[in-house]
């Protein structure tokens, strides 16, 4: 038994790009795209279409901008008979509408706008602009575990009234939510967003990224984000291979995902860390941005003598929390 | 809001002992015991009381047997004003009742019997013997994801009728269960075990160890197993620090747990691997014992050229599965 409405969006290259300034080789991006197509993943997000005025192309790799000629090099010659669609993300406060071409001049199918609640007007502007150019669109509300609820309600009502986005995502940026929080947010989003699908994007600070994604699916959320081997900042994301293993839709095939994890993701993994660790767990538990925890993990990478002083790190975080 | 009936049993030394043949230093076991006491953990399982006829003491460390003089060295001088109790485990098919002293001659509070369904008669014998000697007792049913249900029902009925154990554990040895499986098993166990508490012991092959433990708690399971930093075979266990972070009982204090993870568990972690990885995920998804996956992980440890050939490993496992 499966729910055909469920759409999986693999955002390995986009969200993983926060780990390496979007500096993937063309070969890796092609291999991920190929695997997504072969496994029947619904959407594959190949990076950001952010502004070159806000990110220096000398410092950031091509997948921070996803120029059309780069995307064409990714997809040319790849068998896509299952119809995997291409998404890119725009950050509401770091992207401009003018960077998005007309739909017919682009290989992109969907533009996803990531936004904090406070930037919702910018997000709506970008989404409506992309929609008018012919794209599918979503708005992804970041850090929902840490918002003013009145402002969130207002933002959702604006999105409902003023856009035609097909889905609005609940993004647990801090990996702080428990299943009951997911239930609560899904209910809230559903009650206001009567004409939109809902999406879920979870992080794994408390080892709940996958479980919370399943919880959202059970609560009728149909758009599901994930990354290969959970590749992503801090404790990483809900893993695509687990979601595909869970969903029973026969169109999905897990094998190409396992293969590309072995050929392209694990070699990256040997050079950088993501996944569960005590500093991230502390940040998630305290509903904090993982930046301090990432600094703490840097000590481990550097072999610093304080690398395992978790109790002291906890003390510092609790102090900052109040 | 918290449920005072919930009892956490940290089984780091016992279950982690499957990783290192129970060869922990006395100092580490003392540090774990101290941390459990200081954090208010209800039970701390310090190893097995298994038979020296079945495990060679030359090959296995002292925590496979937990001789009383060893246990005394662990606890002497440690502040235990919160009343943390000591548990040890007996394997139904690898332990004998005679190895358990009278309660008054022992520092142990609880004897936990681990059993496969097929060995339930042995388990009942060991449990009743320990109970008669004055101990608290539990029976922990291993590999419940992979049992004949008629035989499981019969075993549960026997335990209900023939023992006075205070709790019966659902053990997801293969890390194969989803939340709906947890619900199903809790309901089954509850329907037969009308006079016993229920317990949960989860593994993390599919990153659901912690989430499934929460699910069981929501379904009124009161005995909860976990290990520090999830230390345990294959993908490891539900982490104690996450459970304590989740439970709201003010008697718990997470800080000593974070400290001992830093001082004693992370140094072990630098010498051996546990936690999520693709081979374990495949085993969990296919509801298989993790042994083949552990062999595959050995290739990674050894830097073997096939270490990341996950798709081929998957093919082999699927073949073996049918």
Using one digit for the tens of pLDDT, what is the confidence trace for A105-162? 999 999 999 999 999 999 999 999 999 999 999 999 999 999 999 999 999 999 999 9
Alpha-helix runs per DSSP H in chain B: 12-16, 26-39, 68-75, 120-132, 149-162, 179-192, 209-218, 240-246, 255-260, 266-269, 278-285, 291-301, 310-321
Residue A56's beta-bridge partner residues? none
Domain boundaries, chain A: 7-269, 278-321
- Asked whether the beta carbons of residue A278 and residue B259 sit closer than 8 angstroms, the reply is no
Taking only the tens place, the pLDDT of each residue in B248-288 is 899 999 999 999 999 999 999 999 999 999 999 999 999 99
Taking only the tens place, the pLDDT of each residue in B65-80 is 999 999 999 999 999 9
Report, as an integer, the average pLDDT of B92-103. Answer: 98
> Closest by alpha carbon to B215, among B238, B191, B192?
B238
B182 Cβ under 8 Å from any chain A Cβ: no
B84 touches B115 (CB < 8 A): no
Distance from C-alpha of A300 to C-alpha of A281, rounded to nearest angstrom: 15
Length of chain A: 322
**Collapsing DSSP states into helix, strand and coil, what is residue A239?**
strand
- Asked whether the beta carbons of residue A281 and residue B178 sit closer than 8 angstroms, the reply is no
- Confidence label for B322 from pLDDT (cuts 50, 70 and 90): low
> Closest by alpha carbon to A89, among A41, A53, A142, A40?
A142
> What pLDDT, on the 0 to 100 scale, is given for residue B70?
98
- Asked whether the beta carbons of residue B214 and residue A259 sit closer than 8 angstroms, the reply is no
Taking only the tens place, the pLDDT of each residue in B184-230 is 999 999 999 999 999 999 999 999 999 999 999 999 999 999 999 99
- Asked whether the beta carbons of residue A258 and residue B209 sit closer than 8 angstroms, the reply is no
Task: Tokens for B275, please give them.
Answer: 């936690």
Q: Return the residue of A nearest to B275 by Cα.
A: A276
Identity of the residue in A179, A275, A310 whose CB atom sits nearest the CB atom of B258: A310
- Asked whether the beta carbons of residue A261 and residue B310 sit closer than 8 angstroms, the reply is yes
pTM confidence score: 0.96
Q: Return the residue of B nearest to A246 by Cα.
A: B285
A269 Cβ under 8 Å from any chain B Cβ: no
B316 Cβ under 8 Å from any chain A Cβ: no
* Chain A residues touching B208 at Cβ < 8 A: 210-211
Contacts of B304 (CB under 8 A, 6+ apart): none
Alpha-carbon Rg for chain B, nearest whole angstrom, is 19
> Closest by alpha carbon to A109, among A125, A85, A129, A143?
A85
- Asked whether the beta carbons of residue B258 and residue A229 sit closer than 8 angstroms, the reply is no
**Collapsing DSSP states into helix, strand and coil, what is residue B11?**
coil
What are residue B163's phi and psi, to 5 degrees? -130, 165
* Chain B residues touching A204 at Cβ < 8 A: 207
- Asked whether the beta carbons of residue B242 and residue A214 sit closer than 8 angstroms, the reply is no
B278 Cβ under 8 Å from any chain A Cβ: yes
Q: Return the residue of A nearest to B270 by Cα.
A: A300
Report, as an integer, the average pLDDT of B118-141. Answer: 98
Give B7-269's CATH code, choosing from 1.10.760.10, 2.50.20.10, 3.20.20.70, 3.40.720.10.
3.20.20.70
B317 Cβ under 8 Å from any chain A Cβ: no
* Chain A residues touching B276 at Cβ < 8 A: 230, 275-276
Report, as an integer, the average pLDDT of B22-41. Answer: 98
Size of interface A-B (CB pairs under 8 A): 108
DSSP B203: B
Strand spans (E) along chain A: 7-10, 43-48, 85-91, 110-115, 136-141, 167-172, 197-202, 223-226
**Collapsing DSSP states into helix, strand and coil, what is residue B127?**
helix
Taking only the tens place, the pLDDT of each residue in B234-249 is 999 999 999 999 998 9
**Neighbour-count burial for A155-192, b at 16+ CB within 10 Å, e otherwise:** bbebbbeebebbbbbbbbbbbbbbbebbbebbebbeeb
B309 touches B317 (CB < 8 A): no
A111 touches A134 (CB < 8 A): no
Taking only the tens place, the pLDDT of each residue in A222-270 is 999 999 999 999 999 999 999 999 998 999 999 999 999 999 999 999 9
- Confidence label for A321 from pLDDT (cuts 50, 70 and 90): low
> Closest by alpha carbon to A87, among A61, A115, A59, A106?
A106
Element (H, E) at A218: helix A209-218
Average pLDDT, chain B: 97
- Confidence label for B321 from pLDDT (cuts 50, 70 and 90): low
> Closest by alpha carbon to A261, among A76, A72, A10?
A10
- Confidence label for A322 from pLDDT (cuts 50, 70 and 90): low
Identity of the residue in B210, B256, B258 whose CB atom sits nearest the CB atom of A208: B210
**Neighbour-count burial for B134-150, b at 16+ CB within 10 Å, e otherwise:** ebbbbbbbbbbbebeee
Average pLDDT, chain A: 97
Q: Return the residue of A nearest to B263 by Cα.
A: A308
Taking only the tens place, the pLDDT of each residue in A13-39 is 999 999 999 999 999 999 999 999 999
Neighbours of B5 (CB within 10 A): 10
> Tokens 């009308």 map to which residue?
B194
Distance from C-alpha of A226 to C-alpha of A201, rounded to nearest angstrom: 7
> What pLDDT, on the 0 to 100 scale, is given for residue A320?
72
- Asked whether the beta carbons of residue B208 and residue A210 sit closer than 8 angstroms, the reply is yes
For residue B39, give how far its alpha carbon lies from the nearest alpha carbon of chain A (Å).
12
B130 touches B108 (CB < 8 A): no
Distance from C-alpha of B194 to C-alpha of B9, rounded to nearest angstrom: 22
- Asked whether the beta carbons of residue A258 and residue B285 sit closer than 8 angstroms, the reply is no
Cα torsion A292, A297, A301, A302: sign = positive
B192 touches B156 (CB < 8 A): yes
């Amino acid at each position: 038994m499966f729910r055909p409405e469920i759409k999986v969006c693999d955002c390995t290259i986009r969200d993983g790009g926060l780990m390496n300034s979007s500096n993937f080789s063309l070969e890796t991006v092609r291999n991920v795209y190929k695997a997504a197509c072969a496994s029947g993943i619904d959407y594959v997000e190949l990076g950001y279409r952010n502004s070159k005025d806000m990110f220096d192309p000398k410092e950031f790799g091509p997948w921070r901008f996803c120029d059309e000629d780069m995307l064409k090099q990714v997809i040319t010659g790849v068998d896509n008979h299952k119809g995997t669609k291409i998404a890119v993300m725009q950050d509401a406060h770091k992207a401009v509408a003018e960077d998005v071409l007309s739909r017919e001049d682009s290989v992109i199918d969907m533009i996803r706008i990531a936004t904090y609640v406070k930037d919702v007007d910018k997000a709506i502007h970008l989404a409506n602009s992309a929609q008018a150019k012919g794209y599918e669109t979503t708005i992804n509300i970041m850090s929902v575990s840490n918002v003013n609820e009145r402002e969130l309600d207002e933002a959702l009502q604006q999105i409902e009234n003023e856009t035609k986005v097909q889905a609005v995502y609940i993004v647990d940026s801090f990996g702080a939510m428990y299943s009951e929080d997911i239930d609560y947010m899904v209910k809230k989003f559903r009650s206001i967003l009567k004409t939109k699908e809902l999406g879920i994007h979870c992080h794994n600070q408390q080892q709940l990224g996958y479980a919370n994604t399943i919880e959202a699916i059970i609560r009728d959320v149909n758009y599901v984000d994930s990354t290969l081997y959970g590749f992503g900042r801090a404790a990483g994301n809900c893993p695509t291979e687990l979601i595909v293993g869970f969903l029973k839709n026969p169109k999905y095939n897990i094998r190409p995902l396992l293969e590309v994890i072995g050929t392209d993701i694990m070699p990256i993994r040997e050079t950088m860390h993501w996944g569960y660790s005590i500093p991230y767990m502390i940040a998630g538990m305290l509903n904090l941005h993982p930046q301090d925890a990432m600094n703490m993990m840097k000590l481990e990478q550097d072999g610093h003598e304080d690398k395992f002083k978790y109790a002291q790190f906890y003390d510092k975080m609790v102090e900052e929390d109040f």
